[in-house]
Structure 1
Amino acid sequence: MARICMHGYVSGDVQGVSFRQATALQAERLELDGWVRNLADGRVEVLFEGEEAGVAELSGWLQQGPEHAQVSALDLQEQTLQGVAGFIVRR
């Protein structure tokens, strides 16, 4: 199966609700590499890569996020592989 990379932004009530930590846990469970971080405008930015099935599953999860999040929009674009190793929460 091919590896793919997605980059994008999650909008809504997605900061202060453990969104980044929950995203990292999901990514690690799915054996994906990448990062997630909060932006000053209230969105969350995410980049993740791995096997297509795992990428698709995380993409679907991001549409809802963790329990207390209220996702209003998800904008993901496929990118060339970045070659990142592991998944980190950026500050």
Structure 2
Amino acid sequence: MLSAQQLETYITQNLACDYIKVLGDDGTHFEAVIVSPEFVGKTMIKQHQLVYAALGDRMRAEIHALSMRTLTPEAWLKLQGGN
């Protein structure tokens, strides 16, 4: 069974992340917040495609559902109350 921590590791191995937090305890359904400089200038769909690409075949085999919120570092900073 896949853990949230393993999923975080899979993503960070293939995608530069300034911040990542994955939640989920049933082994197949997960929620993630992912902040990456690679998202800059990309649409939300392209951002999600980068995450799916980072997961590769695991997305089809091990993960049943992944709900994600993708943010650029600048958007994350604003969300955190920074400038």
TM category (shorter chain) comes to 0.3 to 0.5
Greater RCO, CA 8 A, separation 6+: 1
Structure (1/2) with the larger helix percentage = 2
Give 1 or 2 for the bigger CA radius of gyration: 2
Structure (1/2) with the larger strand percentage = 1
